[in-house]
């Protein structure tokens, strides 16, 4: 996880942000497996809790990790006077690892695998370039 490299280099605010995005995109991928595609960060958090935590598919701890990670990232990015401490970033990195392992268990439980899908806009641009070359 890139957050570990940032942590080792003592870029604590950036490490908080990257670890949040690892958690965020794992949660978003899990929701996508169920055909749910929230547009906003709050939508990912609320839908994850609704469809995975409240139904018992994942532990309640994962919902808390997602919410707290989001709060920490927002503090780091939007509060001009916030300075992330070594200990809290270390805790966040450990929490992110727990979350990612929980999502891995969820994927194994459901028997589905995440598939990387190309972004439609990237695909469209690539196809337009190919047509120009012909």
- Give whole-number Cα distances, 134 to 100, 127, 128, 131, in Å: 44, 11, 10, 5
Q: What is the model's pLDDT at position 51?
A: 94
Average pLDDT per block of 10 residues along the chain, 134 residues long? 90 92 96 93 96 94 96 88 90 96 89 47 51 58
Q: Which CATH architecture has domain 2-133?
A: Up-down Bundle (1.20)
Q: Which two tokens stand for residue 5?
A: 């490299």
Q: What is the model's pLDDT at position 133?
A: 60
Q: What is the model's pLDDT at position 108?
A: 85
- Give whole-number Cα distances, 121 to 87, 116, 125, in Å: 40, 15, 6
């Amino acid at each position: 996880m890139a957050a570990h490299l940032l942590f080792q280099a003592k870029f604590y605010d950036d490490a908080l942000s990257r670890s949040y995005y690892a958690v965020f995109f794992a949660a978003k991928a899990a929701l996508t497996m169920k055909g749910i595609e929230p547009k906003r960060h709050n939508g990912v958090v609320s839908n994850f809790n609704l469809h995975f935590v409240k139904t018992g598919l994942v532990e309640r701890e994962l919902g808390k990790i997602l919410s707290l990670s989001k709060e920490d990232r927002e503090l780091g990015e939007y509060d001009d006077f916030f300075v992330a401490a070594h200990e809290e970033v270390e805790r966040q990195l450990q929490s992110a690892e727990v979350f990612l392992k929980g999502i891995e268990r969820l994927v194994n439980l459901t028997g589905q695998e995440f598939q990387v899908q190309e972004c439609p806009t990237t695909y469209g641009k690539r196809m337009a370039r190919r047509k120009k070359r012909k």
